[in-house]
Structure 1
Amino acid sequence: MNTFAGIDFPTWWFLVIGAVFTGYAILDGFDLGAGALHLFFNKETSRRTALNAIGPVWDGNEVWLVIGGGALFAGFPEVYASLLSAFYIPFMIFLVALIFRAVSIEFRSKEPMLWWRKMWDISYCLSSGLLAFLLGFILGNVAIGIPLDKDHIYRGDFADFINPYSIMVGITSLALFMMHGAIYLVMKTEDRLYAKLTIIVRRTTIFFVISFVITSFYTLLYIPHLVDQIHDSPGMFILPVIMVLAIANITRQISKRKYLLAFLSSAVVISVALIIVSLELYPTIIYSPQTPANSLTVYNSASSNKTLGIMLTVAAIGVPLVAAYTTFVFWTFKGKVKLDETSY
């Protein structure tokens, strides 16, 4: 085990990266979900209100993705290299979708023409939905593993990634973010849009529950290495229980129209889902199914202990600052959205 002075730096850095990506999924998840729902709003004022609900926070939420990518590169450079080379095409599509989403948000209100705004509305909705799907699609492929040679170089082609499990995880991710985004929007809106969103929240919740159940059964039946840890460690059974209870609480709070509690439960579902995947893989980060000996783990792919120790110190200072800034922004722009001349 790669430790120094009794501290398992690789594992600690693995936890830091996991926490950062979890933060990204929770924060950017709701505005991706809100974007994927955008075309369900027919009126101009409704679309502007939905855009302004995420307007103050969407670009700040993406900071967590940048931090996570940088942390992965610094802490586990071999994982970063293998992952990005293997998923070159999906990541390029992801980056293009990120660009179009940002451009759509910023350009939509620059001209008053109906065709102009409709064009960017479609771009915004499709790019947001594609991003939500791709996050799950990539996660699904990482979970089942990708073929690596002894030099940890990816040996395969893009067709390998088109498999039932990654598509199911992608759809489940899209459904989860749509539900997460709908709950956020209903907290930020009022009047007729609020009434419409109460219906959309229920429908997206049903969509997520169905997707989640199908994907869970497929995992149990056909992806054995993702359930071995739970079989071997009965204490881990508490995590699926927490997830099921959180999903049940979402439906319960929605029926009571207590949307803040539903939103917090949705965040718990995202967190626990990523924790389960991480624990099922640990200490592996990238599993090589054909040749498990070629897999990348937290120990054979980590930077030096000195590097990890220095970066953990920096992370202990920097991550709380970013979290504090994020909290401040949400607190500043709390409450219902009101449109004015400065709105999108």
Structure 2
Amino acid sequence: MPEGPELHLTCLFINRTCKDQIFSGKILRNPIHKCPDIDWDEPQYTISAESKGKEFMLHLNTVLDDMNGGKNKKSQKLHLEPAPSLKKTLSIRFTFGMSGRFDFTPENECPKHSHLRFITKSEPKMSLSFVDYRRFGKWFVGGQWSPDRGPCVIGEFESFVENIVNNMDNPSFNKPICEVLLNQKFFNGIGNYLRAEILLRCKVPPFEKANNILRLNEFKEETSDIKAEIKNSTTKQAKAAKNGGKHSAESLMNDVKLERNTSNQQDYKTKSVIEKLTPQAQELLKLCHTVPIEVVNLGSTKYALADMYAEDQEDGSLSFNTWLQCYYQPGMKNLVDHNKRTIWFSGPAGPLVP
């Protein structure tokens, strides 16, 4: 199933492949697919892409011929940025389901399970095709990301962490950490193989309660050396003398503790969001970002996403299956979670095993 890295790599592939391409005509839909036709029939347009977690967006933008109307082909140019009043745009949001991908092929060589096709204008005609043999992938016209998905773990790391911190009391975090990692409201882009690799690296049992792992640092009242601080503080001694001894050693200790705690709270507020979490929580959330980035780096030098999965890498780089340490790897254990998804792991399973 495509996860955040695969959609990010698809974005890179389309932006690289379609950079100098002009598309034309209708968007062709396979009639067997349940998603609707898309109302678009423009003589010339460009395509660009962006991704956010497990969602993907294509942006279509019309382009215009030069003012000569195309009569002089030698001097004919394309305005890639027409005046706003003339420009027509369309955004299409995709989810990839279990097997969605994009291919760029000659028009007469489109893959069998192509469900949406964008055809180039020039000869030989090429097709950018949304391919999905299981047909769980969907598309939606409009430029808005789903409101029920959180920030992307790859491209919006700070917002991702902040979203976790702001929702620590959400009932979702009472569930096993392996199940919470698949909740796209908080971990947008994490899927089955990524959760296994992340939990292995931070040595967290998959069925440990999530809010036992994702915790904020507590305020700690600093009581050590307070007596010494009172003894060495002439200011506090002078204050005690001025008030006729009304401030006892005990009350002075309380004054210092209050000042210390106030200072601690001020320091806490100025910390970065992730520093407010326990070291274990910090490590897990950082891995939610760095592990997907490793996959992106694996595939970023390949022409197409499929090349990353080849066993023999011609350039000598690591293949995806060699990179995996946990998911479907020999010697690893596996269990089915409460959502009927298989989790691969090493070591103890944790207390919330189904």
Give the TM-score category using the shorter length: under 0.3
TM-score, normalised with respect to structure 1: 0.23
Pick 1 or 2: higher relative contact order, CA cutoff 8 A, min separation 6: 1
TM-score, normalised with respect to structure 2: 0.23
Larger radius of gyration: 2
Flag the structure with higher strand content: 2
